[in-house]
Amino acid sequence: MESFGKRNNSLTYSHRVGAYAVIQNQNGEYLVVQSSDKYLFLVGGGIENGEAPIEALKREALEEIGFNLSIGEFIGKAEKHWVSPQYPDLSQHNIGYFYACTLAKKVAEPLETEPMRWVSLETIEKKLFHEHHLYMLKKTLD
């Protein structure tokens, strides 16, 4: 598993495991969710207790974008240790499972309010919040 960030052993880390989709359209753009502070995130999120990564990814896609996904190749697993600049007392250890996906059918309106956007690789490289997500997205380019 690829690791990003430096673990500070004097901190207590909140452990979060998630599943994420790398979705590319025919124009070479990637589907992301944009936060209110303009950072970009891959579609996906936390895996709930007892949930398999693919089940979590399907659920998160419905919540975030309202689409079913066609889940393809498992890209890999990566982790990141980090401390939020907004919340310096909260240390995070994120582990992600990443899958190449395509959009299937729109089945609902998203439950979450952050907008989804198709963006270029150049924009992803500047604005994607998590470096381990960018690393996994770039593995699909090989």
Superfamily name and number for 2-139: Nucleoside Triphosphate Pyrophosphohydrolase (3.90.79.10)
Give the integer Cα–Cα distance in Å for 132 and 138.
Answer: 10
pTM across the whole model: 0.93
Question: Which are the contacts of 127, defined by CB distance < 8 A and separation ≥ 6?
Answer: 38, 39, 40, 119
> Which parts of the chain register pLDDT below 70?
none
The neighbouring-strand residues paired with 78 are 2, 96
Helix, strand, or coil here: 79?
strand
> In the prediction, which pLDDT does 11 show?
79
Domain positions in the chain are 2-139
Of all residues in the chain, the percent with pLDDT exceeding 70 is 100
The neighbouring-strand residues paired with 22 are 100
Give the integer Cα–Cα distance in Å for 44 and 119.
Answer: 17
Q: What is the pLDDT of residues 6-27, one digit of tens each?
A: 888 887 888 899 999 999 999 9
